[in-house]
């Protein structure tokens, strides 16, 4: 699942991953935290969530907290994918989540990082 408020990010990342690695990935887009939770409630259970930090209404940090507070969702790996490059965000993202990736990211690098997180989960 990819949670990002920017339509171009949702479209670009989804298309790039599915075009190049469609046999391995299906990307479920969510435009915000509320949509993410609605999809999860409808049993769209992802293997991993790529989560933007800077979103209106509910930040990625808030989404993360709500995910971890729910027994059904707390074990879904979270990879923060953000344009925020400050040290505080990076440290918190690496400490809280399973990885922290700065935008923009090349498709191959994103795939490698996703694969590493998923390998740790097995």
- The pLDDT assigned to 94 comes to 61
Which among 30, 47, 46, 50 has a CA at the least distance from the CA of 38?
Answer: 30
Domain ranges of the chain: 2-121
- The pLDDT assigned to 89 comes to 60
Averaged pLDDT for residues 72-78: 96
Length of the chain: 122
For residue 65, name the pLDDT band (cuts at 50, 70, 90): very high
- The pLDDT assigned to 88 comes to 65
SS3 85: coil
- In whole angstroms, give the CA distance from residue 99 to residue 92: 10
Tokens 């694969």 sit at which residue?
A: 115
Does residue 93 have a pLDDT over 80? Answer: no
Averaged pLDDT for residues 11-24: 96
Token couple for 119: 């390998």
Which among 99, 88, 102 has a CA at the least distance from the CA of 121?
Answer: 99
Mean pLDDT of the chain: 92
Q: Which residues of 89-106 are buried (b: 16+ CB within 10 A; e: fewer)?
A: bbebbeeebbbbbeeeee
Does residue 90 have a pLDDT over 70? Answer: no
Does residue 92 have a pLDDT over 70? Answer: no
This prediction's pTM: 0.92
Averaged pLDDT for residues 68-87: 89
- In whole angstroms, give the CA distance from residue 17 to residue 14: 5
Domain 2-121 maps to which CATH number in 3.40.720.10, 1.10.3720.10, 3.40.50.10490, 3.40.50.2300?
A: 3.40.50.2300
- Cα dist. 87→55, 92, 93 in Å? 19, 8, 10
């Amino acid at each position: 699942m990819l949670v990002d408020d920017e339509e171009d990010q949702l479209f670009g990342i989804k298309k790039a991953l599915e075009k190049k690695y469609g046999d391995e990935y299906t990307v479920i887009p969510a435009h915000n935290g509320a949509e993410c939770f609605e999809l999860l409630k409808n049993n769209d259970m992802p293997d991993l969530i790529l989560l933007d930090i800077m979103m209106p209404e509910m930040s990625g940090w808030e989404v993360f907290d709500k995910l971890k507070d729910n027994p059904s969702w707390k074990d879904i790996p979270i990879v923060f994918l953000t344009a925020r490059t400050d040290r505080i965000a990076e440290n918190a993202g690496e400490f809280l989540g399973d990885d922290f990736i700065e935008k923009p990211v090349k498709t191959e690098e994103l795939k490698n990082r996703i694969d590493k997180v998923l390998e740790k989960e097995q």
